[in-house]
Amino acid sequence: MMGSIQDGAKLFQMMNLRAPTDIVQSVIRGLSILELVAGHEAPLKAQDVAAFSGLHVATTYHLLNTLVHAGYLRKEDGAFALSSKVAELYSQYDRQLRPSPASLAAIHRLAAESEETAYVSRWHQGDVTIAGVAEGRRAVRVTGLHVGVRGHAHARASGKVLLAFGPADRLTQYLARTPLEPRTSRTIVEPAALRKELEAIRQRGYSIDQEEFVEGVCCLAAPILDETGSASVALTVTIPATRFAEVHKTACSLLIREADAVTRDLISSLA
């Protein structure tokens, strides 16, 4: 199995410590079990789930059977696995995030020409969220880089460019509800410093993340502007820090070319 029993129990303990006082504990536990089962390739027996979560076996059985009854898990040979209803939920979520054909074509051109990973993100539910990914031949492997990954806009090139080119109240709302948590030693964690960085991005026209989100990884991002000059979608190129100095000028040129092309396509479609 992936991970360890101690790690699983620790995860549940941390979730309990962070939980606000007005939530339903059983719902949190049920969703956590769903994530736990999803994280394993093979179906899990109730005893394994209980061991990972640190919950009593009887409680675990009740939660698992409830998830089976609701259609989110299926039971086979005494073990539990995800059901197709989870895929249906993801399909609905994917439809909300799905980028335009022009944006998808752009990141595939970026990946092919730069040979690096490229992706499109959008501002979704108050933070930056990856909506599409295209891997290049020299793609750097970043754990968790997939459709649906969201959060830490202040530490990511895509997030910073969407804060810089977003509506005036986007940054205000983001700062009001989101702590500027450090992802690495390079992450901007002071609101004044972030505002200064965003002004530089507006002047430059694109953003740079030099190991601010993940150690050893750099990113460039450019906005897709709408007819008002605002942006809720961005294109990003991901580059290993070891070759950033060598390739970033070429990658930036390709990125801006593609972002400008998608911007023109968007505005012309609205004309």
Residue 164, pLDDT > 70, answer yes
218, β-bridge pairs = 210, 239
Side-chain-side CA neighbours of residue 185 (13 Å): 1
pLDDT of 116 > 80? The answer is yes
The DSSP line for 15-32 is HHHH--TTS-HHHHHHHH
Q: Do residues 55 and 29 make contact, with C-beta atoms less than 8 angstroms apart? A: yes
Q: What is the CA radius of gyration of the chain?
A: 21
Q: What is the pLDDT of residues 211-241, one digit of tens each?
A: 999 999 999 999 999 999 999 999 999 999 9
Q: Which two tokens stand for residue 71?
A: 């259609």
pLDDT band per the 50, 70, 90 thresholds, residue 9: very low
Query: Where does the pLDDT of residue 21 fall: very low under 50, low under 70, confident under 90, or very high at 90 and above?
Result: low
Query: How many CB atoms within 10 Å of residue 40?
Result: 18
d(CA 123, CA 231): 9
Distances in Å between the Cα of 193 and the Cα atoms of 123, 168, 176, 188, 206 are 21, 17, 16, 7, 17
Highest average pLDDT, of 14-23, 29-38, 138-147, 155-164, comes from 155-164
Residue 235, SS3? strand
Which pLDDT does position 148 carry in this prediction? Answer: 81
Asked if pLDDT for residue 20 goes beyond 70, the answer is no
Percent of the chain with pLDDT over 70: 86
pLDDT at res. 99: 82
- Six-digit token pair at 67? 């998830």
SS3 call for 119: strand
pLDDT at 123: 94
Burial class (CB in 10 A: 0-12, 13-18, 19+), 126: middle
Asked if residues 232 and 162 have their Cβ atoms less than 8 Å apart, the reply is: yes
- Sign of the dihedral through C-alpha 41, 135, 223, 204: positive
Q: How far apart are CA 89 and CA 71, in angstroms?
A: 11
CB-neighbour burial class of residue 14 (10 A; exposed 0-12, middle 13-18, buried 19+): exposed
Assign 212 to helix, strand or coil: coil
Q: What percent of the chain has pLDDT over 90?
A: 57
Q: What is the C-alpha separation between 255 and 250, in angstroms, rounded?
A: 9
Per-residue pLDDT tens for 91-114? 665 565 678 899 999 999 999 999
pLDDT bracket for residue 136 (50, 70, 90):
confident
Return the C-alpha torsion angle 198, 201, 205, 211, nearest 10: -120
pLDDT, tens digit (0-9, with 9 covering 90-100), for 43-83: 999 998 988 888 888 999 899 989 999 888 999 888 999 88
